[in-house]
Structure 1
Amino acid sequence: MNKPLLYAFILAFVSCGTKVKKSPNVFFAGEIVNPTSEYVVLFKNEVIIDSAKLDSDNRFSIRLDSAVEGLYHFDHHPELQYIYLEQGDSLMIRLNTEDFDESLIFSGRGEEINNFLLDMFLSTEEELPLIYSYSHLQPAQFDHKIDSLQDLKTSALKELRKEVDLSNNAILIAQASIIYNYYTYKEKYPFWNRRITGEKAIPDLDEKFYDYRKTLDYNIDELAYHRYYYNFLKTHFDNLSYMHCVTGCHVKHLEVVSNKLHFNQHKLKLIDSLVNTKNLRDNLFRSVAIDYLLNVHDSEENNNEFIADFKKYSPNNRHIKEIEAVYQGVKNMQPGKKLPEILVMDSGGNKIALQDIAENDTNTVFYFWSGTQKLHFENISRRVNQLKKIKPKFTFIGINCNTEMKRWQSMLITNQLDLDYQYRTDDFENLKNNLVIGGLNKGIITKDGLIVDAFADLYSSF
């Protein structure tokens, strides 16, 4: 990271002196260029606080009589970004959905901390390939590189604090946006190193490499919905579970990799023993469950055993309805079964069942794309064209998600897609839950109307 540039970015949005915030009200407003939805929705954690419809100039405004100080996020479907709000804030944003995060700018009262947090987010996204490239280094060298980058950002925060009177909670959020990224990199390092070097074993790490673990707090409620703290904990428990399985359960690396049920059961047990905060417990247990159900594709017997353990450790999990729905969806999408009763629309707006589409062709592959993810759309279109040549006996059916009807129709024509093989849905949540869609690289293969593989990947399953 270029330190002077980072300082310049921060100081450009800083007003000298301390700002006195007398009013309990909060004003949040802005302009969305190239909107992808009619609304902007403001959330605190998982709760909708308020929403506003865009006017004819694509502007919105939300006024709160009072606000709990802390981290929020605003949603302009299908994108979202985090913001920090305190009483008295009058925060304005402007962004272009074609470059959502990079174009976002905050102004007004509360701009300083929000522009800093946004800069931390953007720099984290940009530096990840660099961090990964360092993973071929020896542990001490990697550690030094990581600490140097962390020091630069910590210094930038110190400079901001000289210019702006930040609350203790704002400082906590800002510090978390720095340190937990670098903790995450250290948790991933041994596995990255083994992958990039081709070694069979992970490198030996001295006692100092994980020094930060000695002071870890697994129960910071204010950070329960902080993306970097939460992501760190998920990676940390992955690492701990792997190491415990290898040393404590006396299983070899390949057994840990292959026995996903045991590995995920171990994670549930560790989370139960270390995390007491309700929000974090529920979210971390949910993460393990969703990851296992969507990505492992285990036998029905093992799935049943996992769910029984999940309910034992987290009987009152507030995400239980979602997890039960995914669990049932996985059961319904087993080989030999028919597709769930899902309706989609053709280019003329006519509704048709997925099962009817599948029965029209002997071999069918359903794939998914979104008009709001331009790069993914280009990549998936290119991949489908390749597969059509590799698998000429298969019919490839595109299902669009999260794109307004007229825009979708325009994209079909502009990109010369065959209208007979393209459909869309207005209810992505229903489609996602019933078809168990964990990512848009997913493919569903059917033969004679019956499921062959409901969890195929367009890049690795053919």
Structure 2
Amino acid sequence: MIRFLLYLSFLSILSCSQKSKDASSVYFGGEIVNPTSDFIVLYRNNDIVDSVALDEGNRFSFNLQEIEEGLYHFDHSPERQYLFIEEGDSIVVRLNTLEFDESLVFSGKGSEINNFLLEIFLAHEKEEPLVYKYYKLDPIAFNEKIDSLRLQKVTYLEELATDNELSEKVLAMGKASIDYNSFVYKEKYPFYHKKRTGEETIHDLTGAFYDYRKDIDLNSKDLAYFRPYFDFMKYHFGNLAYMSCLKSCGTQSESSSKHLHHNKHKLKLVDSLVKETDLRDILLRNIAMDYLLKEHSSSKESKIFLDKFQSLSSNDMHKEEIVDLYDGIQNLQPNSILPNLDITDIDSNSVYLRDISKKKKTVFYFWTASQKRHFRNVTRHVSRLKKKHPEYRFVGINLRTNHSQWVSLVKENNLDPKNQFHGADFKEIQTAMMIDGLNKCVITKDTLIVDAFANLYTTSF
């Protein structure tokens, strides 16, 4: 009996050992040139999977056991990048933060789809100015141009599949990256066409223009946090809300009422058509943030909208976030005192926002090292504004860049160090100043807010 029990115990240990040995694992590692953070953080959707520190050679590695296949992203603050993972992958990445996307290269098992996703992203960025010109075309000609761009990428994916053994999941991910970028252009078309041509009404889009909608999935759990898919969903529901209201609701006389009416339509459509809980909730959150930031006033319409959102969302964190946004907007109304944020000057001294804005009209604008084109444009534009409006002090606040890199950029571009500051706590500044885009600026006079929702390019100073 004792020998028999020992034998069973041995078999149990052997079985566990074999199971551990056979368990699927994934390796993800690489090297970061010119790192902007000490860590790499790996996410699945919005949840942290794991994080690792860079070693002395700026290298990192993850060894992941029994991980769920699908789309992830890794964060090297302030940058992030998608990563598609399958069982048994061994993916190595090398990148230089000075040219993050352009320098990034994947190698190893599982690299094919990740390089493909990156190339599609870069191709999309490159073709956007071209597509903007296409919006002037009539619907048939526009469709032909967009379909031609899409076909080039589909052909590339087919060639990749011919040369490599790709799973159905990988092929579906590659196709989604192509399709939803293309479909966004078509959802934008009626509005951009009207704007580009000066037509008084939305162009009639009968026939086959929206044929692609027959095959779209409005409840994709796998793609809920994939930017091209989420962007498509945003524009799709905005389009549906506008067109359905155009047919059946008539018009309102006040623009604020129109804005409320349209966004309540969007909430209702998402609530009725999207059943995947996470996707539904993040779409509702996006609509709420977009509405409140555009409305940005202390109005009864904003409170009506807030109550409607609260009744539909099932995510308590989102509800709290939107209430905080609503309260933050109320705190940034004209003649309110400026939030007293702590930022850093070129010599690493702490400086308070209110001290900067004392005695003179001040324009606070924002920039980040990763948005190089924006940085160049905003630097030139502010230089012009300074000459045109000497009565203002123009103050740049840098976000999502490490301090040493920011100091180098200030010196290399001959920026006035007295008017340049570094914001270490991005989330705090974003929340307090309601930063929803880098063209935003905040105008103050002697610590009081004049306009907290101004646009650096369109506001009349």
Normalising by structure 2, what TM-score?
0.90
In the other structure, the counterpart of 1:158 is 158
- Give the counterpart letter for 2:441 in structure 1: G
Aligned pair in 2 of structure 1 residues 29, 247: CA closer, same or farther (>3 Å)? same
Cα offsets for 1:132-190 (capped at 9, x unmatched): 22222221222222222222322322222233332222222111111112221111111
Deviates more, 1:315-324 or 1:435-444: 315-324
Describe the superposition over 1:331-368 as per-residue Cα deviations: whole angstroms up to 9, x where unpaired: 1111110012311122232223212222x223111112
Distance 1:316 1:35 in 2: 35
Deviation sequence 1:35-59 (CA, Å, 0-9, x none): 2222211111011111222222221
2:78 maps to what in 1?
78
Query: How far 1:317 moved relative to its partner?
Result: 4.8
Aligned residue for 1:319, secondary structure, equals helix
Task: Confirm or deny: 8 A CA contact 1:246 1:256 kept in the other structure.
Answer: no
Find the partner of 1:386 among 384, 388, 399: 384
Task: Give the Cα–Cα distance (whole angstroms) in 2 for the partners of residues 329 and 154 of structure 1.
Answer: 45
* Residue in structure 1 matched with residue 3 of structure 2 by the alignment: none
1:259 partner amino acid: K
CA shift, 1:216, in A, is: 3.1
Which region of structure 1 is more displaced relative to structure 2, 54-63 or 65-74?
54-63
Q: Please identify the structure whose Cα radius of gyration is greater.
A: 2
The answer as to whether partners of 2:267 and 2:309 remain within 8 angstroms in 1 is yes
Residue number in structure 2 paired with 1:268 = 267
* TM-score, scaled to structure 1: 0.90
Distance 1:329 1:28 in 2: 40
Runs of 4+ that moved beyond 6 A: 254-258
Match of 1:113, SS? helix
Q: What are the Cα deviations for residues 81-135 of structure 1, in whole angstroms up to 9, with x where unaligned?
A: 1110011110001112122112111100101111222222221221222222222
Q: Does 1:425 align with 2:423?
A: yes
Identify if the C-alpha distance between structure 1 residues 139 and 374 changes in structure 2 by more than 3 Å, giving closer, same or farther. closer
Please name the residue that 1:100 is paired with.
Answer: 100
Q: Distance in 2 between matches of 1:141 and 1:72?
A: 37
SS of the aligned residue for 2:269 comes to helix
Secondary structure at 1:31's aligned position in 2?
A: strand
Match of 2:193 in 1: 193
Measured in 1, the distance between the counterparts of 2:100 and 2:240 equals: 35
**Shift in Å at residue 210 of structure 1?**
1.0
When residues 457 and 258 of structure 1 are mapped into structure 2, their CA distance, relative to the original with a 3 A threshold, is farther
1:21-420 mapped onto 2 (5 Å cutoff): 24-251=24-251, 259-358=258-357, 360-420=358-418
Distance 2:158 2:338 in 1: 56
Does the C-alpha gap of structure 1 residues 413 and 114 become closer, same or farther in structure 2, counting only changes over 3 Å? closer
Sort the Cα spacing of 1:374 and 1:118 in 2 relative to 1 into closer, same or farther, 3 A.
closer
Contact 1:219–1:280 at 8 Å: present in 2 too?
yes
Cα distance in 2 for partners of 1:188, 1:317 equals 32
1:390 positional shift: 1.5
Question: Structure 2 stretches of 5 or more lacking a match?
Answer: 1-21
Partner SS for 1:41? strand
- Do the aligned partners of residues 89 and 292 (structure 1) sit closer, same or farther apart at CA in structure 2, a change above 3 Å counting? same
Identity of aligned residues (%): 49
Q: CA deviation at 1:72?
A: 0.5
CA RMSD in angstroms, aligned pairs only: 2.0
| Alpha-carbon spacing, 1:112–1:311, altered in 2? closer, same or farther (3 Å) | same
User: What amino acid is aligned across from residue 337 of structure 1 in structure 2?
Assistant: S
Supply the distance in 2 between the matched residues of 1:376 and 1:146 (Cα, whole angstroms): 27
C-alpha contact 2:297 2:333 (8 A) present in aligned 1: no
- Structure 1 unaligned spans of 5+: 1-21
Give yes or no for the alignment of 1:434 onto 2:432.
Answer: yes
Number of residue pairs the alignment of both structures matches: 440
Q: Matches of 1:385 and 1:77 in 2, distance apart?
A: 29
Q: Supply the distance in 2 between the matched residues of 1:431 and 1:59 (Cα, whole angstroms).
A: 31
Question: How big is the shift at 1:240?
Answer: 0.7
How far the C-alpha of 1:23 sits from its partner, in A, is 5.5
In 1, the alpha carbon distance for the partners of 2:257 and 2:417 equals 42
Task: State the distance in 1 between where 2:420 and 2:104 align.
Answer: 33
Cα contact 2:281–2:314 (8 A) shared by 1? no
Change over 3 Å in CA distance of 1:130–1:255 after alignment to 2 = farther
| Residues 224 and 230, structure 1, Cα contact 8 Å, conserved in 2 | yes
CA change 1:175–1:414 in 2 (3 A) is closer
Range moving further from structure 2, 180-189 or 158-167: 158-167
